[in-house]
Amino acid sequence: MKSIVNYKIRFTVALLIIFSFSTSVFSNEYVVIINADNGYSSDTDEQVKVEVRQFFLKEKTNWPGGIKAKPFGPSSDTPAYTAFLSQVLNMDSAKLAQHWLRQKQMTGKTPPREIKSERLLVKMVAKDKGAVAIVSTKSELPETVKALLTF
Amino acid sequence: MKKHQIKTIIPTLLLFFCSTLFADSNKEVDALKKELESLIERIDELEDSVGDVTEKTGNRAIVQAYDGIKLDIGGFLHTAYTYVDGEDNSEGSFNRQNFELLLGAELTESWTAFVAAGYLRESDDPFVVSGDRRDPQFNTNNRNPLIIGWVNYAYNDQVNIRAGRIITPHGIINIEHFPATLLEPEQPQFLRPFGGNTLFPNFSTGVQFHGKKFTGKNILSYTSYATNATGSDDANDELIVGGRVALGNSAGNWDIGLNYSDSYRQSTDSDNELVGIDLRLRYQSFEMKAEYYTTDEDSGGDREAYYIQPIWHASNKWSLFYRYDFLDAGDVLGESTENVFGVNYLPNKNVRLRLTYTLKEFDEGFTDSTLTTSLLDADADIIQVSGTFSF
């Protein structure tokens, strides 16, 4: 009987650990933001993710409607950057470095500018119709900016 | 109301009134504290940003373009040592010390320019220097070619026009031809010599139309071109046309390309048509590249080339690969095969170090276009150590 109780306790503790881990890893901590005047929309988050990836890798350079896309990256020493790499770009930093090395040498393209301050990122997106950036979900978004995707 | 009651009520009212006042002022203090914390946080952010910029520029002058939105400067240094153990002779040499300067400029949102200027100090193909493929030798050439120099107008993602000196847009490795990204110091045989025209010219001068169509998770891309044939003055009168259509998925797991050109080869005075296919697959840490081409020549014999290159990216720093590479370069040069085994080490993203072993075999071939004197078959073992340092 005692062993069954022990087993139940262990099982409950394990479930709690798994639950807390999953919420910390997969919770929506970051948001992709665009200018409120950007009319872009998509049916699925998956498609948004694909297109955001294309914008940040500079494979795609125009929003539907012809607005020039201007991606601003999170600073490479931030947790936002790590989350963005694994959950949106689906690559590690070494693969991303090779991508930009190839782009630089083939086409002269350079990575999106990294901006450390989230407040500044929000301002840049509010100012430019084609801008797209990643900020924390805790950031206050003005009416001139809208959320596209959380991850 | 009795006097003692009044005495009790008045202090109570006073206490209540004062506590309300204190509560209000406490709220104000809390609000001010929060605002102050927020301001301190913003100042910290600004100081960090200023610190980052100061660390990069200090009191140095900041370079700017004469005109335009943006100017980027980069480049790489590529160095190689090659040891060849041939049929009749063995030679070793630091045979390649190349520097390329890359300049990218954004003139407006739609107009961009890109230049790759080469400062190349390198030997010719060691099997060509002596004129005898059984007797490999090295020499030294200094050249300063304009490798790439184009201006691009982007109407949108689907329609781009590029004019100037361009990479001939065929296959995988010719398009990604920069040593900083290549696993091997020697490109496949059909792309040698650098700047040559074994199957198609590595580079050409003219105009190119290109674009991409995004369809869900896939990308359809096209490139078409009309350029001068490569060679001396006479060849520049000849126009060559061609293109590549490719389909791949956005995640980069696979790409397949179809290639066609209608061209002129000055070395054999041959009009020729080329068709080819290229394929790249990626699955987790495995990658595979393959290209196949065949030409229909007016003279000098039809040509054919292919390679298959499996790669294992053991980690972010280590990659191992093998390449089987076949070339039939026409009646005179004949056939040759290479089996290449290589390892790459990337200590950081700007440095690529390589070690390769190549077993090379020459079959058939003649000394000249009269096809009267056959060349002897020859084998060679080649070891190369190379490094590319890019910035």
ipTM (interface pTM): 0.80
Interface test mutation site (partner B, options A77, A78, A104, A136, max chain B beta carbons within 10 A): A104
Q: What is the pLDDT of residues B126-185, one digit of tens each?
A: 999 988 899 999 999 999 999 999 999 999 999 999 999 999 999 999 999 899 999 999
- In the chain, the amino acid numbered B184 is E
- Chain B contact set for A53 (CB, 8 A): 250
Beta-ladder partners of B208: B162, B225
Q: Do A110 and B104 touch (CB under 8 A)?
A: yes
Beta bridge partners of B118: B100
Q: Where are the beta strands (DSSP E) in B156-285?
A: 160-167, 203-215, 218-228, 239-249, 254-265, 270-283
**Strand, coil or helix: what is A3?**
helix
pLDDT band of B367, cuts 50, 70, 90? confident
A23 touches B at CB < 8 Å: no
Write out chain A residues lying below 8 Å of B212, CB-based.
Answer: 59-60
The alpha carbon of residue B361 is apart from the nearest alpha carbon of chain A, in Å, by: 32
For residue A101, give the nearest of B48, B104, B180 by CB distance.
Answer: B180
Q: Give me Rg for the CA atoms of chain B.
A: 32
| pLDDT value of residue B41 | 85
A23 burial level (CB within 10 Å; 0-12, 13-18, 19+): exposed
pLDDT tens digits for range B323-347: 999 999 998 889 999 999 999 999 9
Does B176 sit within 8 Å of A106, measured CB to CB?
yes
Whole-number pLDDT of residue A89 = 93
Q: Which residue has the higher pLDDT, B95 or A108?
A: B95
Q: What is the mean pLDDT of residues B4-9?
A: 75
Q: How far apart are CA A67 and CA A110, in angstroms?
A: 19
DSSP conformation letters of B117-140: EEEEEE---HHHHTS-TTS-----
Both tokens assigned to A59: 């494979």
Residues in chain A within 8 Å Cβ distance of B349: 94, 97-98, 101
Per the CB < 8 A criterion, the answer to whether B284 and B198 are in contact is: no
Q: Contact B390/A53, CB-based, under 8 Å? A: no
Compute the nearest-CA separation of A60 from chain B (Å). 7
Give me B318's structure tokens.
Answer: 């280590």
Taking CA–CA distances from A130, the nearest residue in chain B reads B109
* Cβ atoms of residues A144 and A36 within 8 Å: yes
Q: Which of A13-22, A103-112, B233-242 has the lowest mean pLDDT?
A: A13-22
CA distance B261 to chain A (A): 21
Mark yes or no for CB contact B176/A108 under 8 Å. no
Q: What percent of chain B has pLDDT over 90?
A: 70
| Angle, CA B84 vertex, CA B117 and CA B174 arms, to 5° | 35
Rounded to whole angstroms, the Cα distance separating B256 from B279 reads 5
Residues 54-83 of A with CB under 8 A from B: 54, 59-62, 66, 68
pLDDT for position B256: 98
Q: What are the C-alpha distances in Å from A98 to residues A102, A104, B212, B313?
A: 6, 10, 21, 13
Residue B250's pLDDT is 85
pLDDT for residue A24: 45
For tokens 């095969």, the residue is B337
Q: Does B109 touch chain A (CB under 8 A)?
A: yes
Residues of chain A with C-beta less than 8 angstroms from the C-beta of B175: 106
Q: pLDDT category, A22, cuts 50, 70, 90?
A: very low
In contact, A101 and A91? CB cutoff 8 Å: no
Distance from C-alpha of A49 to C-alpha of A58, rounded to nearest angstrom? 14
Of B46, B154, B316, the CB nearest to A94: B316
Query: In the predicted model, is pLDDT for residue A23 greater than 50?
Result: no
Residue of chain A nearest B150, judged by CA positions: A107
In sequence order, the 6+-apart residues with CB closer than 8 A to the CB of B333 are B365
Domains of chain A: 28-150 (3.40.190.10)
User: Side-chain half-sphere of B371: how many Cα atoms within 13 Å?
Assistant: 10
Widest CA span of chain A, in angstroms? 71
Residue A145 in tokens: 């900016």
Spatial distance between the Cα atoms of B59 and A11, rounded to a whole number of angstroms: 62
**Cα dihedral sign for B298, B299, B301, B306?**
negative
DSSP-assigned states of every residue in B219-244? EEEEEEEEEEPSSSTTGGGSEEEEEE
Distance from CA of A103 to the nearest CA of B (A): 9
Calculate the CA dihedral of residues A65, A103, A120, A64 and round it to 10 degrees: 10
Name beta bridge partners: B113. B105, B151
What's the average model confidence in pLDDT over B221-227? 97
* pLDDT tens digit sequence for B300-325: 999 999 999 999 999 999 999 999 99
Mean pLDDT, rounded, for B247-267: 93
| Residue contact A98–B181, C-beta within 8 A | yes
